[in-house]
C-alpha cells in the first residue's frame, strides 16, 4: 500500500512541530513491571499528525491494559443504504446510523456520504495486541479525515487493517477491518465491517 504510506507521511511533516511542543509539557512517566516498552524506545511519542484526541490516557511507557470489550462486530454502512450520516462510539461499541442518538463528542468515527472523519486521532497498527495497537494510535495516525475515493480506490482502509485510537473516554480501541464493500459509484463511502476490542488503560 504505497499510496497509503505516502499520504500519512505528508500529514506527519505538516504537524510535527505541534507534537514536539505538546511533548515538552508531558510529565516523565515512571516505569512499572508491566512497562510496554515502545518500539522505538522514545517513550510517549504521539506521532504528531491527525486529530488531537479528545480523550486522555496515561503515557504508553508503563501503561497497563485491561480488556473490557472483546471482538464485538460492528458494521458501518455507506449512503447506498439510505443513510445520510453515521456516528460510531468505539467505547461501547455503538453505531448510530442517524447521528441523532449520540453526542458528537462521543463519536470516534463520523461518516457522511463521501468521507469519514475522526473524532480522536486514528492510526494503523501492525497487529492486534494492546501494545501494537497503542503504538499505531500514537505513532502512525491518519489525517483528520479520509475521502471515500481514497478508501475505495487507494485502499486507505482495507480488509485486514488494524485501526487504533485513544477514545474520548481515554480507553484504547481497536477496530479490525474484516470487509470493505465499495459501492458502484466509488465517490461514495463503502460499507465497512469489522470487530471492536477495547482496553482500559491504567498505570
Give the integer Cα–Cα distance in Å for 23 and 25.
Answer: 5
Give the integer Cα–Cα distance in Å for 97 and 106.
Answer: 14
What average pLDDT is seen over the chain?
Answer: 79
3-state SS of the chain?
Answer: CHHHHHHHHHHHHHHHHHHHHHHHCCCCCCCCCCCCCCCCCCCCCCCCCCCCCCCCCCCCCCCEEEEEEEEEEEEECCHHHCCCEEEEECCCCEEECCCCCCCHHHCCEEEECCEEEECCCEEEECCCCHHHHHHHHHHCECCCEEEHHHHHCCCCCCCCCEEEEECCCCCEEEEEEEEEECCCCCCCCCEEEEEEEEEEEEC
- Can you read off the three cell numbers belonging to residue 181? 464493500
Would you say the pTM of this structure is higher than 0.85? no
Considering the chain, what percentage of its residues have pLDDT values greater than 70?
70
Question: In the beta sheet, which residues pair with residue 64?
Answer: 202
Q: Give the pLDDT mean for 188-195.
A: 96
Give the integer Cα–Cα distance in Å for 91 and 107.
Answer: 9
Residue labelled with grid coordinates 475515493: 149
pLDDT at 7 over 80: no
Structure confidence at residue 98 (pLDDT): 84
Residue labelled with grid coordinates 456516528: 87
Give the integer Cα–Cα distance in Å for 49 and 5.
Answer: 13
- Can you read off the three cell numbers belonging to residue 21? 511542543
What is the per-residue pLDDT across 105-143, written as a single tens digit (0 to 9) for each? Answer: 999 999 998 999 999 999 999 999 999 999 999 999 999
Q: Where exactly are the structural domains of the chain?
A: 2-202
Beta strand 172-181 with 162-166: parallel, antiparallel or unpaired?
A: antiparallel
What is the per-residue pLDDT across 82-102, written as a single tens digit (0 to 9) for each? Answer: 667 899 999 999 999 888 889
- Can you read off the three cell numbers belonging to residue 58? 496515561
Amino acid at each position: 500500500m504505497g499510496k497509503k504510506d505516502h499520504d500519512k507521511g505528508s500529514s506527519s511533516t505538516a504537524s510535527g512541530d505541534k507534537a514536539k511542543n505538546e511533548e515538552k509539557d508531558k510529565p516523565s512517566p515512571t516505569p512499572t513491571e508491566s512497562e510496554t516498552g515502545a518500539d522505538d524506545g522514545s517513550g510517549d511519542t504521539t506521532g504528531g499528525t491527525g486529530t488531537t484526541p479528545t480523550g486522555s490516557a496515561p503515557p504508553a511507557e508503563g501503561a497497563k491494559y485491561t480488556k473490557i470489550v472483546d471482538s464485538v462486530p460492528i458494521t458501518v454502512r455507506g449512503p447506498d443504504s439510505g443513510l445520510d450520516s453515521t456516528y460510531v462510539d468505539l467505547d461501547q461499541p455503538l453505531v448510530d446510523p442517524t447521528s441523532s442518538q449520540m453526542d458528537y463528542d462521543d463519536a470516534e468515527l463520523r461518516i457522511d456520504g463521501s468521507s469519514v472523519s475522526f473524532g480522536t486521532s486514528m492510526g494503523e497498527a501492525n497487529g492486534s495486541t494492546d501494545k501494537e495497537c497503542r503504538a499505531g494510535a500514537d505513532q502512525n495516525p491518519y489525517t483528520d479525515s479520509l475521502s471515500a475515493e481514497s478508501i475505495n480506490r487507494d485502499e486507505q482502509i482495507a480488509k485486514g487493517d488494524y485501526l487504533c485510537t485513544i477514545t474520548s473516554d481515554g480507553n484504547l480501541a481497536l477496530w479490525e477491518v474484516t470487509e470493505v464493500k465499495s459501492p458502484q459509484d466509488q465517490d461514495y463511502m463503502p460499507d465497512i465491517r469489522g470487530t471492536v476490542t477495547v482496553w482500559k488503560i491504567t498505570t
